[in-house]
Every structure is written in C-alpha cells, then in structure tokens.
Amino acid sequence: MHRTLSTLPEIFPLSTPFRISRGTKTAAEVVTVQIEQDGSIGRGECVPYPRYGETVETTIGAIDAVRSAIERGAGREELLQLMPAGAARNAVDCALWDLEARLAGSDVATMLGLQRPLPEIATAMTVGLDTPEHMGAAAAALVDVPLLKVKVDRSDPAAQLRAVRAAAPRPRMIVDPNESWTIEEVSGLQQLLVELKVDLLEQPLPVGDDSALAGFVSAIPIAADESVHVTADLEALPDGYAVVNIKLDKTGGLTAALELAREARQRGLGVMTGCMICSSLSIAPALMIAVGSLFTDLDGPLWLSRDREGGVTSRNGWLSAPQPGFWGEARAAQ
C-alpha cells in the first residue's frame, strides 16, 4: 500500500459577517486534507478554532506529525491513538472515511446502515448577534424556515429575543449565548424563554462555571456545546444539561462523533449536530450524525459567498445532501 497525504489551507469569504458574543467572522479559514491511494482520493476538512487554541498553522503541523503513519496505512482506529481530539484529527478522519468508501465501491451512509439517499434535514438558520432592530430584520427574512438559532449576549437578550420572535413567530427556536450568561441570568430568563416558545438553550454558561447547572431544573432543555468534546466529557457533565451538541471539529472526526452520539443516547441525553462556519466538505460527514439528531445546526456553508462545487443545498431551511460523489461515495458527481 502506498498513500500520499496533502494539506491545503483555504479561505472562503462570507456573504455577510457572522457575529456571536465572542467576536465577528468574515471568512471561513479551513484546512483541507487529501489522501490518495490506488487512484482514489479521500477528502476531509476542518476549521481550526481559536476558542480551543487552534490556528491554521498549528493544525497543519499536527497533521504533518502523523503524515508518515497515515501514508504507511494507519486507519481510523489507529488515528484515535495518534492524535488528540480537535480540528486536525477531524480532517484526517473524514478523509479516511471518504477514501475507505471509494476504495470499497460503497458509500459511508450505507456503511453506517443509514437510509439512502439521505433525507432532507431541517437545519437551524442563524440570526447573528446585532441590535434588536437588525436581528428582527434578519429574522423577518427567515419567517418560513422550520428552525431558527439566535445568537445573543448579555447586553439585552430579552430585547434581542423579543425582536426575533415578533418578526418570525412560527419557527422553532434555539437560543445560543455562547457561554456569555450567568446562572442568575439563566434562571431569571426562564419565563421569557417559555413565553417566546424557545425549544433549546445552548451553552449559556462558560465551561468553567457550568457546574452551577447541577440540580438546576430548567423550563426548557439546555444543550452542552463547549462543555462536551468527546465521550469522556459526559462523565463530568452537570445534570442540568439534557442535550449535547456534537461537532466533528470538537470530537476529532466522524469516528469519535459516532461514539459520542451512542454514549450520549445511552445516558438519556438528546443529540444535536452542529458545525463551525465551513464549506460543504465539513457538512457532508456531519450529516451522518444529523440524520438521527433532535436538532440540527448545519448552516455553516450557507453563510459563504462561494461554497465548494457540488455541495449541500438549502431550500427554506431544509438541507439537502451534496451531489453524488462529493464526499463518502464511490459514484462520480453528475
């Protein structure tokens, strides 16, 4: 067996800025991995995330460190031992899944026992953090989608959420403070969240403070995002959480994400599938988790001014899988 691994940093500009409580993004900076073997090429993508101390440079360095092992034939299970969870392992793991399917003349969905073709999935459409007036205007353009995700901070979440709900009264709603609230705010906003028919509150407290959720009985489910990266993190998760948000850039690939989803369900936790701002090459493997999820938040590529050719498409908040052969399939794209 002879393999060749290559890495490529790529930048995908956004059509509009994406703002959350931690800052504003105007482009998706990704690292693309290609692994070639016997004339087939497997691809994977990751998004290095500064919140977790990752940069494009450190990510490429981490992949370079395992290059020789991968080129000698190391597989996905061995990769779990070679690299820690994170963006770098995600790109390599997803490239190995893609390569494996192509070499086998099969596809990843079939390998996992999933329905083929994959069904349309209702994805959250994000309303970025802004003034209540601007957030209301953004929501008005999404009035008919099935699910909204609303980014808020501490400045005036009540006004932000009221503006969004007034403009879009029908969609289900996820509220995401991105670790910016206190337990007092979580408690004090419970009535409003119920009044506005919010379906999920995502990671309201900073990771270091969410022990305050132990024993907390919320009126709506609370999801852990930054607090859960891999299966081992479930052990220390406060019982105030009811859902875990699985992102492949956190788990370090589809292999570890599948394990996390299985274990979360065994513990009675709901599963949500999320993403970073990315191209469709990150979304294609995440769809394997999204198919069985309570909530899906995979609108990352929809923020781009230009996605990869043949990627996912969206119709009013309903996400369709990429074209055949895009990722994880032996068939050539039409």
What pLDDT is stored for residue 268 in this prediction? 98
- Catalytic: which of 25, 149, 197, 247? 247
Is 197 one of the catalytic residues?
no
> Taking each helix axis from N to C terminus, what angle separates 280-290 and 87-104, rounded to the nearest 10 degrees?
80
Phi, psi values for residue 314, rounded to 5°: -130, 135
Q: pTM, whole model, 2 decimals?
A: 0.96
- Catalytic: which of 25, 149, 151, 250? 151
Q: Give the 3-state secondary structure of the chain.
A: CCEEEEEEEEEEEEEEEEEECCEEEEEEEEEEEEEEECCEEEEEEECCCHHHCCCHHHHHHHHHHCHHHHHCCCCHHHHHHHCCCCHHHHHHHHHHHHHHHHHHCCEHHHHCCCCCCCCCEECCEEECCCCHHHHHHHHHCCCCCCEEEEECCCCCHHHHHHHHHHHCCCCEEEEECCCCCCHHHHHHCHHHHHHCCCCEEECCCCHHHHHHHCCCCCCCCEEECCCCCCHHHHHHCCCCCCEEEECHHHHCCHHHHHHHHHHHHHCCCEEEECCCCCCHHHHHHHHHHHCCCCEECCCHHHHECCCCCCCCEEECCEEECCCCCCCCECCCCC
Cis peptide before 117 (omega within 30 of 0): yes
Distances (CA, A) of 160 to 22, 67, 131, 133: 17, 47, 7, 8
What pLDDT is stored for residue 22 in this prediction? 81
**Contacts with 310 (C-beta within 8 Å, 6 or more apart), sequence order:** 280, 322, 323, 325, 326, 333
pLDDT one digit per residue (tens) for the chain, 334 residues: 789 999 999 999 999 999 988 889 999 999 999 999 999 999 999 999 999 999 999 999 999 999 999 999 999 999 999 999 999 999 999 999 999 999 999 999 999 999 999 999 999 999 999 999 999 999 999 999 999 999 999 999 999 999 999 999 999 999 999 999 999 999 999 999 999 999 999 999 999 899 999 999 999 999 999 999 999 999 999 999 999 999 999 999 999 999 999 999 999 999 999 999 999 999 999 999 999 999 999 999 999 999 999 999 999 999 999 999 999 998 754 3
Distances (CA, A) of 33 to 28, 74, 313: 16, 15, 23
Task: Enter the tokens of residue 99.
Answer: 């390569």
What are the structural domains, with CATH classification, of the chain? 3-105 (3.30.390.10), 121-320 (3.20.20.120)
Whose CA is closest to 207, among 244, 180, 242, 239?
Answer: 180
Whose CA is closest to 240, among 265, 219, 261, 257?
Answer: 219
What's the full length of the chain, in residues? Answer: 334
What pLDDT is stored for residue 334 in this prediction? 33
